[in-house]
Amino acid sequence: MKRIGVLTSGGDAPGMNAAIRAVVRTGLEKGWQVYGIQQGYAGLGDDLMIDLTARDVGGIIQRGGTMLGSARCAAFRTEEGRKQAITNLVKRDIDGLVVIGGNGSQTGAYEVSKLGFPVVGIASTIDNDLYGSEITIGVDTALNIALEAIDRLKTTASSHHRAFLVEVMGRDCGYLALIAGITGGAEAIVIPEIETDPEQLAVELRSAYNRGKAHAIIVVAEGARYNAGRLTDYFKTHSQRLGFELRTTQLGHVQRGGAPGAFDRLLATRLGAAATEQLSKGNTGVLVGLQKGFIIATPLEEVVTSKKLLDTSLFDLARVLGK
Ligand code: F6P
């Protein structure tokens, strides 16, 4: 292997820059040339590649986002788009590719590997819904941002005797909501994996009010059937029954915008180094992720055809602790 490319794809995640840095510097250490591909798979198709030196990735480990840019690319979902991408790689004598991203990005990586091109994926998404890594790059930082918001909302909620619906990201996965809820001391948590009856939730809020609670925080996953919007609508017509006055806050992309914490910087650094190691061993068509403290390579086929399950036992614990 002489030249490799690295790209970030899908939703950005705090720690992606640390992963790029590790890929570039460990790649250079092996004597390779490393190209940064801009704007994810879109840049691969449009031949947007820059030669990266050790200096080019200096001063980025502490920055959120991705210095390479990211995109969600419709053209890459077609075989024609993928073939064009491989043509662009081959034209520059690039013989290995590192894809930093979540589910959609690793599905793209699998498709490229099926066409015979050596690819290694790095597990990165704030949603923590990717099979092959117990925790993915960006999750810890996103959780801490959500927690800071919950702590602040609790202060104002208590002053006004209010209930707050706090919606967090996560796509179809309730991980962020569940962990932010339990660590933020929420009174209730609403996630897609467990059916929520808004009627029952109203009863629980009223009961919390009657027990003398000064506030109620309900952490809601955006992917839940009753997301913050639907719950707000539902409770509008039942407000007198809650006791608390209700307010709603959607954290949205704020969660993705933070500077990565120590956990994400270290995870991204280890995964970046592991990706070039796998490429040099010729073990491609895999995703590198963290499992039981070790960096493990899992075949991309297994990654894209398996579903990561959420440990819902924490949901029951959160119910007890939120009393
Ligand atoms: O996958 C990461 C994520 O932030 C999800 O939690 C969210 O649903 C989605 O991306 C938002 O996508 P976009 O940035 O394209 O609006």
Q: Could you report the per-residue pLDDT of 11-22, keeping only the tens digit for each?
A: 999 999 999 999
What's 59's DSSP letter?
T
pLDDT in tens, 8-62: 999 999 999 999 999 999 999 999 999 999 999 999 999 999 999 999 999 999 9
Whether 238 has a pLDDT exceeding 70, the answer reads no
CATH number given to 140-256: 3.40.50.460
| CATH among 3.30.450.20, 3.40.50.450, 3.30.2290.10, 3.40.50.300 for 3-138+260-305 | 3.40.50.450
Check for a shared fold between 3-138+260-305 and 140-256.
Answer: yes
SS (H, E, C) 177-240: HHHHHHHCCCCEEECCCCCCCHHHHHHHHHHHHHCCCCCEEEEEECCCCCCHHHHHHHHHCCHH
Distance CA 57, CA 189 (A): 40
Reading the block at residue 24, the tokens are 């570039």
Quick one: DSSP state of residue 54? T
Return the minimum-mean-pLDDT range out of 35-49, 137-151, 230-244. 230-244
Is 127 close to ligand 1, i.e. is its CB under 6 Å away? yes
Is the shortest distance between the CB of 173 and ligand 1 below 6 Å?
Answer: no
- Known catalytic residue: 127? yes
Q: Is the CB of 136 under 6 A from ligand 1?
A: no
Out of 9, 16, 39, 169, mutate this one to test ligand 1's pocket (max ligand atoms within 8 Å of CB): namely: 169
* Closest to 44 in 3D by CA, of 97, 2, 93: 97
Digit-coded pLDDT (tens) for 162-176: 999 999 999 999 999
Q: What is residue 237's predicted lDDT score, i.e. its pLDDT?
A: 73
pLDDT greater than 70 at residue 154: yes
Condensed to tens digits (0 to 9), the pLDDT of residues 115-129 reads 999 999 999 999 999
Query: What residues does each domain of the chain span?
Result: 3-138+260-305, 140-256
Give the ligand 1 atom nearest the CA of 126. Answer: 2
The verdict on the CB of residue 170 being under 6 Å from ligand 1 is yes
What is the residue with the minimal CA distance to atom 15 of ligand 1? 11
Using 50, 70 and 90 to split pLDDT, how confident is the model at 239? low
Best residue for ligand 1 mutational test, from 127, 173, 308 (most atoms within 8 Å of Cβ)? 127
The DSSP code sequence of 253-305 is: GGGG-SPP-HHHHHHHHHHHHHHHHHHHHT--SEEEEEETTEEEEEEHHHHHH
- Among the listed residues 12, 47, 51, 127, the single catalytic one is 127
